[in-house]
Amino acid sequence: METDMTDKREADWRETLSDEQYRILRQCGTEPPFSGKYYHHHESGTYRCAGCGAELFSSGAKYESGSGWPSFYESLNKAAIREIDDRSHGMHRVEIRCASCDGHLGHVFPDGPAPTGLRYCVNSLSLDFEAKA
């Protein structure tokens, strides 16, 4: 269920998210590679933002990238993902955030498969999954 989180205070986030989810979604952390619950997840359905419930990715766009994180070649809706230039850690990347709640999701890279050539590399802890009915 998607809700508007633009006015949510950081104290509210700490109450609703686990410590690890808070570290990733609100402080731009990263979970260790190959550790996330959705890395080898193959059910059909929709991946949503763990912070606000916004629909982000379809299982149909998920693929095994070998990167250690869930990877998707496209988002469900371009407007659901906000891209930010990231020059931290001595490299240049494109950070991806939920456009609804501004939660950190991961990064997008130009080394994915056809048809988009993109690899949305996403932390499992920033996602919830809704199985297809």
How does strand 62-63 pair with strand 55-58?
Answer: unpaired
Residue 7: band (very low, low, confident or very high) from pLDDT cuts 50, 70, 90:
low
pTM: 0.90
Whole-number pLDDT of residue 98: 97
Structure token pair of residue 14: 């700490």
| pLDDT mean over 14-28 | 94
Q: What percentage of residues in the chain have a pLDDT greater than 70?
A: 95
Q: Is 49 a catalytic residue?
A: no
| 3 within some domain | no
State the CATH number of the domain containing residue 70: 2.170.150.20
Residue 108 included in any domain:
yes
Count of domains for the chain: 1
Is residue 24 a part of any domain in this protein?
yes
Q: Decide if 123 is inside a domain.
A: yes
Active-site residue, from 49, 52, 101, 121: 121
- Which residues constitute the domain of residue 83? 10-131
